[in-house]
């Protein structure tokens, strides 16, 4: 998967709905999300993200890609997502593996919300 397709694939997980998750997230996925119980696996992980309203936009920056072996891609990035007046920023990682030609699934995803900036007096 080339970088353009890779980042489009990842961005779609922020801006498209539950049907997209079921198509792109592996049944054995492991996720760390910023809500209890924080560590999710399998169907519980897919349900946790599928129940979240989609974001109207998601900008992925600070992008890093590691292709450790054929058919396995690890990525890291910062996301700024927006829906209406609600905004969310986090640093994220995902691992995506190829099942067969042009068929890829997320097997790991993690989000660390960005801490609010404090104003110094």
For residue 95, give both structure tokens. Answer: 């691992």
pLDDT in tens, 44-93: 998 888 778 899 999 999 999 999 999 999 999 999 999 999 999 999 99
> Is 48:35 a contact under the CB 8 Å cutoff?
yes
| Interior/surface letters 50-88, b for 16+ CB within 10 angstroms, e for the rest | beeebbeebebeeeeeeeeeeeebebebebebeeeeeeb
Strand order in the sheet with 57-69: 39-41, 25-32, 103-113, 86-100, 72-83, 57-69
Residue that wins the pLDDT comparison between 99 and 17? 99
pLDDT in tens, 11-32: 999 999 888 988 999 999 999 9
What global pTM score does this model have?
0.90
Can you name the residues that pair with 80 across neighbouring β-strands? 59, 89
9 has a pLDDT exceeding 60: yes
Residue that wins the pLDDT comparison between 38 and 49? 38
109 has a pLDDT exceeding 60: yes
Q: Which of 70, 25, 74 is nearest to 48 (CA)?
A: 25
pLDDT at residue number 118: 60
pLDDT at residue number 121: 55
């Amino acid at each position: 998967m080339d970088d353009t397709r890779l980042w489009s694939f990842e961005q779609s997980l922020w801006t498209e709905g539950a049907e997209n998750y079921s198509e792109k997230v592996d049944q054995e996925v492991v996720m760390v999300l910023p809500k209890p119980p924080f560590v999710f696996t399998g169907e519980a992980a897919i349900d946790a993200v599928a129940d979240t309203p989609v974001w109207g936009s998601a900008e992925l920056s600070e992008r890093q890609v590691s292709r450790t072996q054929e058919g396995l891609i690890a990525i890291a990035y910062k996301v700024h997502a927006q829906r209406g007046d609600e905004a969310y920023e986090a640093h994220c990682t995902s691992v995506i593996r190829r099942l067969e030609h042009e068929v890829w699934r997320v097997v790991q995803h993690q989000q660390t919300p960005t801490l609010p900036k404090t104003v110094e007096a």
